[in-house]
Chains A and B, each alone.
Chain A
Amino acid sequence: MMPGGLRYLRRKAVNALLLTLSAASALFGLVFLVWILREVILRGARALNWAFFTELPAPPGVAAGGMANALVGTLLLTFLAIAIGVPTGILAGTYLAEYGRRNPLARAVRFVSDILASSPSIVVGVFVYAILVKPLGSFSGLSGSVALAILMIPVVTRTSEEMLRLVPDTLREAALALGAPHWKVIVAVCYRRVLGGLATGVLLAVARVSGETAPLLFTALNNPYWNWNPLRPTGTLNVTLFNYAMSPYDDWRAKAWGAALLITLMVLATTLVARLVVSRTEIGRS
């Protein structure tokens, strides 16, 4: 007879029950993931044809048409956002890792950066509307990029800092001993060493903003035509998706799923690539 008898059996039962519930939770999460991805892939794949990638949007009721300009617009705004947000983030991260480290300013910046990273993106949209759209007098791709850049900066700052921290101080000292000034040590030694890691930060930032629609709603607005001028409204996949999804037209809704699939793939791809680079950097350098 087992020690404890009935009491022991009860403990075992509770154990089995709750462990099963935990496994069920994981299963639950997986079920939703599979369900969502399945819908996105099935409905989206149907809509992704050659026309989708090359044609301009057609008004409702006209067959064919695509989202070519929205794709280009998304790329354009993302590149602009990278141009604005990445140097800011890398330089801020450099300060945190190289110059600041433990001083009060650095601590404050880290704290604020983490807050900004999880802040509601629609509030960022309202902010950029107030400081850019109203004064400039028009909706613009530029203000959309600025909104996206503000969302990118915290991500890039933190990843840059963490990557630079991985560079051992002995390396810095060796370079300093050879007579290099501090800034040169950072640029020629540290940056070069964690280039992959810095790229990861960029990828994660891109993943973060690829799925964002709210901040673009009242900054970049939308545009069914080709637009290269960042000072005018620019179409993006996300806003077009929003408009199409909310519409009652079947052909538009089908295209909305296509855009949803594209965005999901983009975010997943960048996230996975970023993880790959990170694990390689950590394994290689630690």
Chain B
Amino acid sequence: MRLSRWLAVSVLVSVAFAGRAQGTAHGTGATFPYPLYARWAHDYRARTGLSFNYQSLGSGAGLLQIRRGVVDFGGSEIPLGREELEREGLVQFPMVAGAVVVVANLPGDSGAPLRVSPAVLADLFLGRIARWDDDRLKALNPGRPLPALPVGPIVRADGSGTTWLFTRYLSAKSPDWAKGPGAGAAVKWPRGAAAKGNEGVASYVKEIPGAVGYVEYAYAAGRGFTWLSLEREPGEFVEPGPASVGRALERGLALPGHPLEVDLLDVQAPGAWPLTGLTYILVKADQRDRKKGRALLDFFHWCLVEGAPQARELGYFPLPPEMVSGVEARWTEKIRCRGERLWP
């Protein structure tokens, strides 16, 4: 008797704490944009009371689960082709641009960016450069003391759009890489320990001296890592940061008639950060629930139009207005609920 009464009370108390529990839309996908999506969802909920639950499981998970219809929206850096989108009944659009950076844990280091060439970068992850005081690194960074620590590559254990961006770059720049692991959301890594999500990689790099890993910019900022600057053209080293990513974005989006899924990898412009990419949202073209579908689009609209300050604060790059109109035009064209247009 006493037990059941206690149970009833605790349930009532929990409900009292719950407040207004509104319906929630669920999405899974890339860890790349997770800090931003979480922040947008948090701020939007404060404004409207509507909840959007985004679980960062990796681009692979996002794609798989939106294909299966197990979630309401998916997030990924890997754009699907038109035939595949039609076949799966999905609509895809970019949300925000971000950058992949390579960071290392070098204890006692000055923290200034460490220069590497694309070939050296590939060799670090191929395991061909065993220690940080290797001659090739010394040659690229004359006069800089480098620790005699072993190089510990940290890679992704799960299917990842971040990996896809990174390995595409390596495949383009290093024939050995293209022949070996190749490019993809998950590849066969020759060396290193693997972690789950961008969070995991950042976590491992933070814990292990001598570790080097690739993460989305937002996961690296302010953590005390040593950043690696890439050689874009012989002799020209680009440091990751808002300026270089901004230049890549500017140049990449300036191309006339580009699709919404513009490829921002290795943009040919001075001072442009090579590892830039867009991150996409996927939703079902045919929305079953009108209310939920509309709520989703309202949320994304708010993110695109009013979410720019949060994006910049967290180290992402909001889409310019022309792209936003392009995105919303696509919604109008492609998203339906029982035959009826859902947007505007």
Contact = CB atoms under 8 A, between A and B. Distances in A.
A85 B38 CA distance: 35
Given A223-B24, A226-B21, A58 B42 contact: yes
A29 B187 CA distance: 41
A60 B38 contact: yes
B51 A225 contact: yes
Given A58-B42, A61-B39, A247 B199 contact: yes
A246 B14 contact: no
Interface in B1-35: 10, 14, 17-19, 21, 24, 26, 28, 35
A221 B55 contact: yes
A59 B38 contact: yes
Interface string A202-239: 00000000000000000001111111100011000000
Nearest to B21: A226
Contact of B203 (A137, A139, A248): A248
A166 interface: no
- Chain B binding surface SS class: helix
A68 interface: yes
Contact of B24 (A75, A232, A247): A232
Contacts of B199: 243, 246-249
Nearest to B203: A248
Interface residues of A, number: 29
Interface in B33-74: 35, 38-39, 41-42, 45, 51, 53, 55, 68-71
A269 B21 CA distance: 31
A247 B203 contact: yes
B206 A222 contact: no
A1 to B, nearest CB: 61
A133 B69 CA distance: 11
Nearest to A253: B203
A246 B53 CA distance: 19
B219 interface: yes
Q: Which of A54, A134, A221, A232 lies at the interface centre, i.e. has the most chain B CB atoms within 10 A of its CB?
A: A221
Contacts of A243: 199
A223 B223 CA distance: 27
Given A59-B39, A62-B39, A246 B197 contact: yes
A88 interface: no
10 contacts: A61-B39, A133-B70, A223-B24, A225-B21, A228-B18, A228-B21, A232-B26, A246-B199, A246-B203, A248-B223
Interface of B: 10, 14, 17-19, 21, 24, 26, 28, 35, 38-39, 41-42, 45, 51, 53, 55, 68-71, 195-197, 199-200, 202-203, 206, 219, 223, 314
Given A225-B53, A248-B202, 9 more contacts: A68-B17, A72-B18, A133-B70, A138-B71, A225-B51, A227-B21, A228-B18, A247-B200, A248-B199
